């Protein structure tokens, strides 16, 4: 047996097991509970663009937060965005919730999400900020729990593990399996090891601290703004923590093509932010390593058996810990298709130069730096409601 290949097998096995244990450790913190009250105010920033799957129920969960003092700030590019009607209806339904809507021209950065955040942050009331994507669903104690974790000694930023939910198509099921079974253990392990791996769908930090590190302006032309924000806090000596409760990424009718495009964008970030880590990524995907067995002069049968067993064990363990048993048997058999698609993405991403995101086409360079093909005009005035 090839000793080098055996060593790679052992490394891959150790990574998968450590990832599952890291998820378990994050989830066990839920037993610590949540601070009951007396917390300072929080401003929740919700960048919107169109109507995502289950947008109404996703946003309603934020209007129903049990925090004593919070403000919702929604941002859209243009007064014709279809999400505006829904936000206004929810604002009228919950008149006691402080809510502001910011309409802007999207010219505050090449990264459309950060351009949205830069517009919204101008009207925030509180120092503690939450950045939350439009397609996430959270429990009623989400803001309060995140803030209690932000108050732990040395913590500068709190992020969340993301799990898929609401699958009604093949693409959305692949998305849920990948987020819950493969991404969550890797994010949990990397963060637990002290290398912040922040997902921007759910972040909380103090604006005053973040501004002292450079603020949103410093990541307005970066594709991987969430990763960079995490590294900024880490480099400044703050601890980046994972919340004990995951948030749900609702993708009901995602197509397989959309799944591949989303993963291509995320993979383009990784290869440009951490090229060395990118090269060794195949060690974290057992099926890829099994397919490479003939290159090491090893018969492929037993590596495939090992890869299937390890992948199913990792995916199912993480799934059950993060979202229970519901939907597992329907999603788990798709692991081979997911890994095949991700192998294609892994090979293709380094050769891609442009990404289309939120109706913008931009060039991605080293460090995930963005260059707008047509340039960015000076930003116009904000229109603020509420």
Name every residue whose Cβ is closer than 8 Å to that of residue 96 and which is 6 or more positions away in sequence: none
Q: What is the pLDDT of residues 246-284, one digit of tens each?
A: 999 988 888 999 999 999 999 998 999 889 999 999 999
Q: What is the pLDDT of residues 302-323, one digit of tens each?
A: 999 999 999 999 999 999 999 9
Task: Give Cα 355 to chain centroid, integer Å.
Answer: 18
What token pair was written down for 32?
């610590």
Whether pLDDT at 53 is above 90 = no
Q: What is the pLDDT of residues 196-218, one digit of tens each?
A: 889 899 999 999 999 999 999 99
Rounded Cα distance between 384 and 112, Å, is 19
Reported as a pLDDT band with limits 50, 70 and 90, residue 386 is confident
- For residue 76, what are the β-bridge partners? 103
Burial class (CB in 10 A: 0-12, 13-18, 19+), 295: exposed
Alpha carbon distances (Å) from 260 to 151, 266, 328, 334, 357: 38, 10, 21, 14, 13
pLDDT of 371: 76
pLDDT of 373: 60
Decide if 41 contacts 143 (C-beta within 8 A).
no
Q: What is the pLDDT of residues 353-380, one digit of tens each?
A: 887 766 667 788 877 887 766 656 677 7
Best CA proximity match to 293, nearest among 303, 285, 284, 283 = 303
pLDDT of 35: 61
What token pair was written down for 217?
């302006």
Whether pLDDT at 32 is above 60 = no
> Mean pLDDT, to the nearest integer, of 142-160?
93
Instruction: Output the pTM of the full model.
Output: 0.90
What is the side-by-side order of every strand in the sheet holding 42-47?
239-242, 155-159, 202-206, 128-132, 42-47, 70-77, 98-104, 383-385
pLDDT of 37: 60
Work out whether strand 155-159 and strand 239-242 pair parallel, antiparallel, or are unpaired: parallel
- Return the percentage of the chain with pLDDT > 70, whole number: 95
First-to-last alpha carbon distance for the chain, in angstroms, is: 69
Tell me what the pLDDT averaged over the chain comes to: 91
pLDDT of 60: 96
- Return the percentage of the chain with pLDDT > 90, whole number: 74
Q: What is the pLDDT of residues 60-76, one digit of tens each?
A: 999 999 998 999 999 99
Q: Which residue has the higher pLDDT, 361 or 33?
A: 361
What is the torsional sign of CA 234, 237, 242, 243? negative
Q: Quick one: 3-385 is in which CATH superfamily?
A: Spore Coat Polysaccharide Biosynthesis Protein SpsA; Chain A (3.90.550.10)
């Amino acid at each position: 047996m090839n000793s080098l290949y055996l060593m790679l097998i052992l490394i891959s096995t150790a990574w998968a097991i450590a990832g599952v244990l890291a998820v378990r450790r994050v989830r066990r913190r839920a037993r610590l509970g949540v601070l009951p009250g007396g917390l300072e105010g929080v401003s929740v920033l919700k960048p919107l663009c169109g109507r995502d799957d289950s947008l109404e129920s996703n946003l309603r969960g934020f209007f129903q937060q049990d925090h004593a003092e919070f403000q919702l700030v929604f941002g859209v590019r243009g007064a014709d965005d279809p999400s505006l009607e829904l936000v206004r209806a929810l604002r009228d339904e919950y008149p006691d919730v402080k809510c502001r809507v910011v309409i802007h021209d999207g010219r505050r950065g090449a990264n459309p999400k950060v351009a949205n955040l830069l517009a919204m942050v101008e009207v925030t009331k509180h120092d503690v900020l939450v950045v939350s994507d439009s397609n996430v669903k959270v429990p009623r104690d989400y803001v309060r729990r995140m803030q209690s974790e932000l108050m732990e000694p040395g913590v500068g930023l709190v992020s969340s593990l993301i799990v898929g939910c609401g699958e009604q198509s093949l693409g959305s099921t692949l998305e849920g399996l990948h987020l819950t079974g493969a991404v969550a253990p890797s994010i949990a392990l990397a963060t637990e090891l002290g290398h912040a791996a922040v997902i921007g769908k759910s972040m909380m930090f103090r604006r005053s601290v973040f501004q002292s590190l450079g603020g949103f302006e410093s990541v307005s032309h970066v594709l991987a703004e969430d990763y960079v924000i995490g590294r900024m806090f880490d480099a400044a000596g703050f601890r980046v923590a994972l919340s004990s409760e995951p948030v749900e990424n609702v993708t009901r009718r995602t197509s397989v093509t959309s799944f591949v495009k989303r993963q291509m964008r995320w993979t383009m970030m990784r290869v440009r932010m951490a090229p060395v880590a990118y090269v060794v990524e195949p060690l974290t995907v057992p099926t890829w390593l099994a397919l490479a067995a003939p290159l090491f002069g090893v018969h492929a049968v037993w590596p495939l058996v090992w890869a299937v067993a390890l992948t199913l064990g990792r995916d199912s363990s993480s799934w059950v810990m993060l979202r229970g048993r519901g939907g597992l048997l329907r999603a788990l058999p798709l692991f081979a298709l997911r890994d095949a698609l991700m192998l294609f993405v892994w090979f293709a991403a380094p050769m891609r130069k442009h990404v289309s995101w939120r109706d913008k086409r931009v060039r991605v360079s080293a460090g995930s730096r963005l260059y707008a093909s047509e340039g960015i005009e000076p930003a116009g005035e904000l229109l603020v409601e509420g």
